[in-house]
Amino acid sequence: MDRRTFMATAAGGLLVHPLAAGAQAKVPTVGVLVRDAPGSERFWQLFRQALRELGYVEGRSIRFEFRSDQGQIGRLPALAAELVKRKVDVIVTWFTPAATAAKQATADIPIVCATCGDPVETGLGVSLARPGGNFTGIAGVGAELAGKCVDLVREMKPGARLIAGLVHAPDPLSKLFLEQIRVDGAATGMTIDGMAIRAEELDAGFRAMKKMQPDAVIVQPSLPTKRVAELALRYRIPAVSTFREFVEAGGLMAYGVVEADVYRRAAVLVDKILRGAKPADLPIEEPTQFELVINLKTAKVLGLTIPASLLARTDQVIE
């Protein structure tokens, strides 16, 4: 089953649940707005599981209105407006562009970002401690992790001198992501060549990147992960990202948050809001658990030998 079929099926299945016969209490409705990218299914599965563990039963004590942009980021504002029109009780978003669309669509309905970039720098919250307004969630620390990827490239290829930074131009976090790569690159004596593109420009972008002959490319995860991984292999460029699904799709390495922990904490925030808490009073939380994933099959195709010191710190190896 492909991703879009999965998401449509999952969403449809949740929307048809009737209220329990004779139920008197209002069943809260959670709107869910996601970028259609590898990992969105995993988010949806783990987030629902976390709510079940908190005691919620779909169709009885909670309902969902699910919206995916189906790979077209420009659809997010209209989808957010749909959720507002349906008067959902809270909107849960996945990735920064979805959170931004929701924030622009409503100043009243509580918003919980299950994972997003720096919410203060992107204007979603006033501060981590007191986000203010109708927003809270889990900061994805994507920009900081991008800097960590520079260190991973240096450890993997000690002689590396040039790294390409590939970012998704429509993503509000793209500038911060690229800036962090440049800061960490300068600190280690590497040259960083940034490239901000749209999803439909990936083929041309990789052709141009091949001429640069970079030692590696660091990829922003809101780009189409599978396509980026395929192109990186075709042009034989080691590719690193901050999202484990990138490695599962064929990318070389990823250093990112432990998703199960992040989505569990997002579910706890939703639970608090449904019980009466105000998002402005719920601090934006930061991830505390991280993982390193390496695809040894991809390394072999690229003719790379991963240093033993790096493998020793790896949380999961894909062979």
- pLDDT the model gives residue 17: 41
Residues 128, 20 within the same domain: yes
**pLDDT-based confidence at 35, cuts 50/70/90?**
confident
Residues 98, 109 within the same domain: yes
**pLDDT-based confidence at 60, cuts 50/70/90?**
very high
Number of domains, the chain: 2
Residues 129, 70 within the same domain: yes
**C-alpha distances in angstroms, 99 versus 32, 43, 96?**
10, 15, 5
Residues 126, 20 within the same domain: yes
Residues 10, 21 within the same domain: yes
The beta strand positions in 95-251, using DSSP E, are: 111-116, 135-139, 162-168, 191-197, 216-219, 239-241
Residues 251, 276 within the same domain: no
- pLDDT the model gives residue 147: 84
pTM of this prediction? 0.79
For 225, the domain range is: 142-256+291-318
Give the pLDDT confidence of 261-278 residue by residue, as tens digits.
999 999 999 999 999 999
**pLDDT-based confidence at 3, cuts 50/70/90?**
very low
Residues 215, 277 within the same domain: no
Identify residue 188 by its one-letter amino acid code: T
Identify residue 93 by its one-letter amino acid code: T
**C-alpha to C-alpha distance for 220 and 294, rounded to whole angstroms:** 17
Task: Look up the CATH number of the domain holding residue 103.
Answer: 3.40.50.2300
